[in-house]
Structure 1
């Protein structure tokens, strides 16, 4: 019973979500050998996966724009984002409970975004494979 609980917890961890996203983008990057073929190919707004509850991401643009965006986010996650010294710091509550509440709010949001981005990378990879078959 403990294994089942641990497996569920690990699957829903931020680290797991980040690993799935990075893995999906790495797979996309290895699959897409000619990124320029993605230019002017419209995005299909059916990125939703019923099993994850992720909805499509509304946007304009083409698959190439998504390809570049996904790689950029992956690189920022792996290498970090350089922030200028002039970056403004938000004033937050000083109580521990406020920090905990803020952390949980942002953690849930980050996991939801990573899930949607992972779906996007998987969809893009799949559509690229379909596209390349027709060439």
Structure 2
């Protein structure tokens, strides 16, 4: 009885967890994948007829503005979540981060001659960096949850649109 009450109390908090956002997205894409029996029927079907998906057209190339390409994109994102980001993309990000760190070090060493001359003590600087990391994490976590929520809505929308196109259900 006590455990059941604890679960009820935790539910609203857990509803907004990253794990639940990922689970809802993966569930929506799995449903989309099971519903769309003939993905090629989505070729040349424009995104702009659907209000939830119309915003996607402005961010993508004209060649890739059909529902088929978006279907493939949603499946690819699901694979990235389930299996991890593809190695090439991860390597590219690591290279970008390293070059950014190198530039930051060069800039900071040029502006100050030594740590001893800085106004902040080492422990204050570490606390500041920890706070910055926490803020960065919260910012990116919030953004990721928002993106996953939008992608979930769009996967559901694509599923409904496919059903409409092939005459299944309402």
Pick the TM interval, shorter chain: 0.7 to 0.9
The CA RMSD over aligned residues, in Å, is 2.4
Q: 1:27 aligns with which of 18, 26, 31?
A: 31
Other-structure match for 1:47 = 52
Displacement of 1:71 in angstroms is 0.4
Displacement of 1:5 in angstroms is 3.9
The answer to which structure has the higher helix fraction is 2
Q: Distance in 1 between matches of 2:158 and 2:67?
A: 7
Displacement of 1:2 in angstroms is 5.3
Q: 2:91 aligns with which of 84, 87, 107?
A: 84
Structure 1 SS opposite 2:96: coil
**Rg larger in structure:** 2
Q: 2:154 aligns with which of 116, 120, 127?
A: 120
Q: 2:139 aligns with which of 87, 98, 105?
A: 105
Count, aligned residues = 127
Unaligned runs of 5+ in 1: 49-55
Deviations 1:61-93 (Å, cap 9, x if unpaired)? 111111011000000111111122762325498
Unaligned runs of 5+ in 2: 105-124
Please report the TM-score for the alignment, with normalisation by the length of structure 2: 0.67
- Call closer, same or farther: CA 1:108–1:57 in 2, change over 3 Å: farther
Displacement of 1:3 in angstroms is 4.7
